[in-house]
Structure 1
């Protein structure tokens, strides 16, 4: 079980894994789209990176690949200079796969009270693979 408690339960159910702050960054002008807000693809790439952080803690010796990004919802735009926080929580561990919920919050660059606003959320599925990229059990035999 993960002992980090950086955030609320993201999975919306009794979960054996805590929410953790997996990534925090400030995005730059190079990350913008034609409207001047942060490009959604940049946010998705960071979601993928943040989601694998708690997954690797399950079995650091395993290699994991992303197989699906589901239920992606962009609630609010992200602007250059916003402090962007990616919170991740393992929601389900299967035999070869792990489902993770990632929520993205921002502190607006001009907001003096430090309030975080939920801007994006997604569910990501990772699969443990061997050196031939074939699915293998997530957990070692001793933990299954």
Structure 2
């Protein structure tokens, strides 16, 4: 799946989001801001968290984010998520971001991390997560 001299590796988790990096997302060198990538990862973790807890979640921690390769303008960012752990009020989501290089079929893992989401009730307070 990759062609950057790396071992073939497949994304882990479920495809949660896809979007194209645009010029407004980039710095002066043409690489996309790391913060933009992390924001997309946070959105994807929230989607997965919402689905698992059956309601609203908020990010309480972003752990171990690793930037492996840059994202370029025109790349399609695909964000994959999987539930790593479910606690009493929080869910830990593993997130991988992959870039399909612009106008090619080349896909490379660009960023990975773990986000912790807390389940919230209607007042914004933590609430217990129901069993699956």
1:24 aligns with 2:15: no
Match of 2:61 among 68, 81, 86: 68
1:84 to 63, 77, 81: 77
Query: Partner residue of 1:36?
Result: 30
Runs ≥4 residues deviating over 3 A: none
Q: CA RMSD in A?
A: 1.6
Distance 2:23 2:106 in 1: 23
Once residues 129 and 110 of structure 1 are traced to their aligned partners in structure 2, the CA distance between those partners, rounded to angstroms, is: 41
- Structure scoring higher RCO (CA < 8 A, sep ≥ 6) equals 2
Q: Aligned residue for 1:125? A: 116
Equivalent of residue 92 in structure 2, options 99, 111, 123: 99
Q: CA–CA distance in 2 between the matches of 1:105 and 1:134?
A: 34
Shift of 1:110: 4.2
SS of the equivalent of 2:69 reads coil
Q: Which residue pairs with 1:50 in the alignment? A: 44
Task: Point out where structure 2 has 5 or more consecutive residues left out of the alignment.
Answer: 1-9
Number of equivalent positions: 123
Structure 1 residue 116 corresponds to structure 2 residue 110? no
Tell me by how many angstroms 1:138 deviates: 1.5
User: What TM-score, normalized to structure 2?
Assistant: 0.86
Q: How high is the TM-score relative to the length of structure 1? A: 0.79
Q: Which runs of 5+ in 1 are unaligned?
A: 1-6, 11-18
